[in-house]
Structure formats: C-alpha cells, structure tokens
Amino acid sequence: MRQLDLDLAEKSYPIYIGRDLISNPQLVSNHINGKQVMVVSDTTVAPLYLDKVKSLLTKYTVSEVILPDGEQYKTLETVNTIFDALLNNHFDRSCTLIALGGGVVGDMTGFAAASYQRGVDFIQIPTTLLSQVDSSVGGKTGVNHKLGKNMIGSFYQPKCVLIDIDTLNTLDDRQFSAGMAEVIKYGVLGNESFFNFVNSNIESLIAKDKDLLIDTIYQSCSDKASIVAQDEFESGKRALLNLGHTFGHAIENTLGYGVYLHGEAVAVGMLMAAELSYLEGHLEIKEVNKIKSILEKSNLPTSIFGKITSSEFIKAMSVDKKVKEGSVRLVLLKGLGNAFISDDYSDETLQRVINNYCNN
Ligand SMILES: NC(=O)c1ccc[n+]([C@@H]2O[C@H](COP(=O)([O-])OP(=O)(O)OC[C@H]3O[C@@H](n4cnc5c(N)ncnc54)[C@H](O)[C@@H]3O)[C@@H](O)[C@H]2O)c1
Ligand SMILES: [Zn+2]
C-alpha cells in the first residue's frame, strides 16, 4: 500500500492506494469517530462491494442508501434522499458518511456530509478510475442544476480517501478510459515527465497492469494534492485543474448528460485548449499532436460526435462557472506540462477552434 497526505493544516487527510484495501477494517475505523455510519452507494456498485464494506464495520451501527446510477440523478432531489435516510435512522452529528462509488456518489455524499447538521465526517471509497485520480481528492462536492453542471455545492474535505485498485476489475473499459483523460490532464497541465511516463506505458495501463496503476494513481493524486494544498478554494492555481473543462462542460451540457462521459468530454476539451494555445502561438503543433495521440491510444474521443452548433457551444461555455464577468477565462498551455490561465486570446481564434469541432 502507498500513502500520501493532503496537507491542509487541521483538515489534512491521508490517501491510501493499494490492492484489496477494502478488506482491511483498521484503515477505515481509524477515521471513524462516532458509532453511526451511513454507507452511500449506487445501484451498480452496491451489489459488487457494499457487503464487503459493511463487513468492515461490525463495530458500528450501519445504514445504507442506494442511489440511482447516473449523472442525471446528481441532483438536490437525490441528495434529499440521503437526508431522509439520515433523519429516519436518527443519525446525530457524530455520524460518518462513507461514499462508495464513482464521482457522482462521491460528490453527492460529500455535499450531504457538508450540510447534514451543519457538517458531519465523511470518507471516500472511490471505485472508478476517474474518482480515484480526481473527484475523491480535494473536497469539491455538489450537484448539478438544470442550467449547469456542479452549480450547487461546497468545499468539504473527507477524513480519508481509500483507493482500492482491485475495484477497477469490474469497471468497464469505456469508464476506465474516461478516467485516463484526467490522468493525462495532470501530465499536460503541470508534469511533463509524468506525461511521458504515461505515454510510454499506455498499452499496459489500458490493460490495467496493477503495479503501473498504483504508481499512476499515486502520481495523479500527488499532483492534485499539491495544487489543492496551495489553493484549497480555487482563488488561483487550482483553476489549472480545469484544463479542458470549460470546453468539456459545454459538450456535456449541450448534448445532455450521458451522451459523453465526463472524462470523454474533458479529452476533447483538452485538445481544443491545446489547439487554441497553438493558434495563439504558445504551443508547438507537435505537442498538440502528442496530446491527440495519447488520447487516441487511450480510446478517448478527439472530436465531437453529435450535433452541436458553434453558437450553442459558445452559449454553453458562457454559463460555465469558470467564466468571470464576461471574458471567458481559459486554461491554456505554454508547452507540455506548463498550463496557465488567460483571457488574453482573440475571440476570432476561439471561434475558429470551436468551428473546427462543431456543426455550423
Ligand atoms: N469533485 C471533484 O473534484 C470532481 C472532479 C472530477 C469529476 N467530478 C464529478 O465526477 C462525476 C463523474 O464521476 P465518474 O466518472 O466516477 O462517474 P460515475 O460516478 O457516474 O460512475 C460511472 C459508472 O461506473 C459505475 N461504477 C462505479 N464504480 C464501478 C466499479 N468498480 N465497477 C463497475 N461499475 C462501477 C457507476 O455505477 C456508474 O455507472 C461527474 O459528476 C463529475 O462532475 C468531480
Ligand atoms: Zn474533471
């Protein structure tokens, strides 16, 4: 097992990464303070892993909530069902919530923990590659609104993150590739040697080689943890983690949830950001091609399948929360591994990139 710590003063917490960690009762119970534990999962993950997780919790009063599976259910209404379960079971302020599932379960459980009785403890047990390298770390929690993704939420850190890579055995290949988009993102935005490492091991990674996966997840969490430790509330540097996301969210919002997986939309978005960076003179074409090639080798999309017009795309970009007072601030690249935030690019160039990807 490998361990790293997210350093946030009194809110610091460990991230454990390894094999068969959900067979180790000590790891979880070290981070549970009260007697009551609510495990939150979804209809796909619960039949696979809920009993195993519950068997770690024999010392506690345990209840469970099984949410419907899908991004379209990442809503306040669904979070309300967690509150119903907590109140029906008389859970008090000393309880702990455990998120067992992908990013959708993690984001909603974290949000419920942040608000229930003004804040109770929670633990993340992420079971998708995307949630293991990204959403379970850093404390962003929340739900979607019909006018935009993740528009309602709060920053709320877990007590620990337990990444059992054996849960990836049951994850389908498309979901696994979607997680690879966020892995690749860390390399592209700030760590060229990690990009090269992933690039040279991509076939074995896609084949889920366990040792490589542990190293890759560790490095991804480590890169994210170091950025979050410097800027927990995204007043500056943390925004770099949104590379590809303003474009990606426009794709997700316009096509509707479920057409593109989050990671797939981010893959296309990252390439759009790279092309804009190239056209603005910050990035070489061979670097754009390197990004495109690693995405292709990861079985990720590099274009938009589905009908989006340029004007729909622009409109969707402007409801994205990364838009500050009119000018769309984007994460651009000054070379591989060197992202920066900018609103200093020409609108015509942005339009050109969007036209290349959309139906006009
Ligand atoms: N909080 C953050 O910082 C952050 C960062 C990135 C993404 N996100 C959010 O994360 C969400 C996407 O997360 P996701 O990609 O994990 O999607 P997801 O939670 O929808 O999971 C994807 C699918 O895989 C299934 N699944 C999960 N684990 C499985 C396993 N081990 N075996 C078999 N099936 C399994 C789920 O039931 C679901 O059908 C989005 O809502 C996105 O906004 C949040
Ligand atoms: Zn993301």
* Residues in Cβ contact with 307 at an 8 Å cutoff, skipping those fewer than 6 apart: 359
Distance CA(104)–CA(220), nearest Å, equals 19
Task: State the residue for tokens 């690249």.
Answer: 333
Taking the CA of 173 as reference, the closest ligand is 1
Please report, in angstroms and rounded to a whole number, the separation of the first and last CA atoms in the chain. 51
Q: Which of 122, 126, 130 is nearest to 166 (CA)?
A: 126
Question: Is there a catalytic annotation at residue 74?
Answer: no
Q: Is 281 left (phi over 0), alpha (psi -120 to 50) or beta?
A: left
Q: Which residues of the chain have pLDDT under 70?
A: 319-326
Distance CA(120)–CA(95), nearest Å, equals 6
> What is the pLDDT at residue 359?
81
pLDDT tens-place string over residues 250-266: 998 899 877 999 999 99
pLDDT tens-place string over residues 6-40: 999 999 999 999 999 999 999 999 999 999 999 99
In this structure, the residues whose C-beta lies within 6 A of any atom of ligand 1 are 42, 44-45, 48, 69, 71, 74, 101-105, 107, 127-128, 130-131, 134-135, 138, 140, 150, 167, 170-171, 175, 178, 262
> What is the pLDDT at residue 34?
97
Tokens representing residue 65 in the block: 């909530």
For residues 68 and 93, is the Cβ–Cβ distance under 8 A? Answer: no
Q: Which of 199, 105, 228, 213 is nearest to 163 (CA)?
A: 213
Pocket test for ligand 1, best of 50, 125, 175 (most atoms within 8 A of CB): 175
> What is the pLDDT at residue 320?
57
Say whether pTM exceeds 0.75: yes
